[in-house]
Structure 1
Amino acid sequence: MKFEKTFGETIKKLREEKQLPLREVAEALKIDTSMLGKIEKNNRKPTKQLIGKFAQFFNVSDKDLLIAFISDTVVYQLMDEEDFASEVLKLAEKKVKYLKTNKSKQ
């Protein structure tokens, strides 16, 4: 399952689909209710560990949730650079391949 909305909106949608209040989800994840509210509003970034807990709680792929979170980070960085955002993404993809190749040679 791919999540095209922001990470926070995705978490809120998953919670609302299960008709669960913030308090109940926060309690199950052992986090503060206000923290969950801030995550849903994209005002607070979750840790990688918390993303895994969300995935387990909502029974969704932790990889997909992590991709949704990381893509938010990239998008927010590129939003102000609309004129050449696609060029940046293409180069970044090449750099990832380059770095992976060099890392495996070490």
Structure 2
Amino acid sequence: MTKLTFVGIDETRFEVEAEPGSTVMENAIRNGVPGIEAECGGACACATCHVYVDDDWADAVGGPEPMEEDMLDFAYDVRPTSRLSCQIKVKPEFDGLVVHIPERQG
């Protein structure tokens, strides 16, 4: 299992165990992490699972693909490390990954 940490706007940390091959969004929903809405269910058709990848992890996770980049236009307060959590597949090398939840979605 791979450990993921979600950091809320109030700095509350939510640590979850994630199965490789699942998405960061699926793990947030499965574990009741507040602030991740995922209205489209992970189809990259909304921006309600927007997160900021922690600066220490940005290079390892990489940037968005073109379709994801288009959807990020609908996200609130997009930053250089913005990603849709439905598009980040969990890998064993992401053990310890930290993502920050924006103040609001969409």
TM-score normalised over the length of structure 2: 0.25
Please say which structure displays the higher CA radius of gyration: 1
Higher relative contact order (CA 8 A, sep 6+): 2
> Where is the helix percentage greater, Structure 1 or Structure 2?
1
> Where is the strand percentage greater, Structure 1 or Structure 2?
2
